[in-house]
């Protein structure tokens, strides 16, 4: 079975600073990996996905993530945080797109 | 193009009651998945429907059941509600083909269920 661990339930950065949200996965075979963002009282919006093509994946709103098989990681980064990035971020994993496993989420706070 | 829609937005029930939540998938999608997101937690997979059949199920009791209609819309039914069923219920739609890079899930805004 697959699983996802997100280190740090809360991350706080200053506006303009680097954003780094951590995600490690467990899977017997290379999975497909996703990052979603959730704003208060809303559903989940896809930021980016890794589907075994390029290991560095670029998403919306300036976010990107790098798949590192040796570290079983898929960390999310953004060079410069914006106030509008404040939200909760979820990492998810699947093998066959018929069952997705989500991490427990990381709340990002952006300080002015 | 309408995205995934869910109804109702909010719902309050009492213990022991039954509830039905509804989901209409994004245009062109034929697969619907349901998730339960408890407060402060990530979404937990309940089940997935494709071609009107349950294709995959997570670790949820039989009190949770579903249905998919010929137009691909779906219902989630929960019987004998418990306080612990209080959560945001999310519906996600995708295409039915497995293992292709186009199989992105699109989520609806969710239904907030409160059990008193």
Residue pLDDT, tens place only, A15-33: 999 999 999 998 877 788 9
A43 with B109: Cβ contact below 8 A: yes
Q: What pLDDT does residue A15 have? A: 97
pLDDT in tens, B49-101: 988 999 889 999 999 999 999 999 999 999 999 999 999 999 999 886 555 54
> Most B CBs within 10 Å: which of A60, A97, A99, A101, as the mutation test of the B interface?
A97
**Number of residues that make up chain B:** 116
Instruction: Report CA-CA distances (Å) from A110 to A18, A80, B51, B87, B109.
Output: 11, 11, 44, 27, 24
Average pLDDT over residues B5-16: 96
Measured distance CA(B55)–CA(B78) in Å, rounded:
18
- % of chain B beyond a pLDDT of 70: 92
Average pLDDT over residues A86-111: 91
- % of chain A beyond a pLDDT of 90: 72
For chain B positions 22-41, those within 8 Å of chain A (CB to CB) are: 33, 35, 40-41
**Residue B69 phi, psi dihedral angles, 5° rounding:** -95, 165
Quick one: closest CA in A to B97, which residue?
A97
Q: Report yes or no: A90 at the B interface, CB cutoff 8 Å.
A: yes
Q: Report yes or no: B45 at the A interface, CB cutoff 8 Å.
A: yes
């Amino acid at each position: 079975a697959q699983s996802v661990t997100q280190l740090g339930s809360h991350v706080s950065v200053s506006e303009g600073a680097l954003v780094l949200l951590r995600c490690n996965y467990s899977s017997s075979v290379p999975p497909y990996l996703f990052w979603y963002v959730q704003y208060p009282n809303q559903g989940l919006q896809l930021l980016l996905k890794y589907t075994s093509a390029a290991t560095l994946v670029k998403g919306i709103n300036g976010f990107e993530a790098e798949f590192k098989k040796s570290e079983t990681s898929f960390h999310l980064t953004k060079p410069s945080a914006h106030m509008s990035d404040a939200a909760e971020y979820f990492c998810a994993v699947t093998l066959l797109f018929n069952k997705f496993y989500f991490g427990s989420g990381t709340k990002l706070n952006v300080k002015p | 193009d309408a995205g995934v829609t869910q109804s109702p937005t909010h719902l309050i029930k009492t213990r022991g009651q039954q509830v039905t939540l509804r989901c209409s998938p994004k245009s062109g999608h034929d697969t619907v998945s349901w998730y339960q997101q408890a407060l402060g937690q990530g979404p937990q997979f309940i089940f997935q429907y494709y071609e009107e059949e349950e294709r995959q199920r997570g670790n949820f009791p039989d009190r949770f059941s579903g249905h998919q209609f010929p137009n691909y819309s779906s219902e989630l039914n929960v019987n004998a509600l418990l306080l612990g069923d209080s959560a945001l219920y999310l519906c996600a739609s995708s295409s039915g083909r497995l293992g292709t890079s186009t199989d992105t899930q699109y989520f609806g805004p969710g239904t907030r269920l409160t059990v008193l």
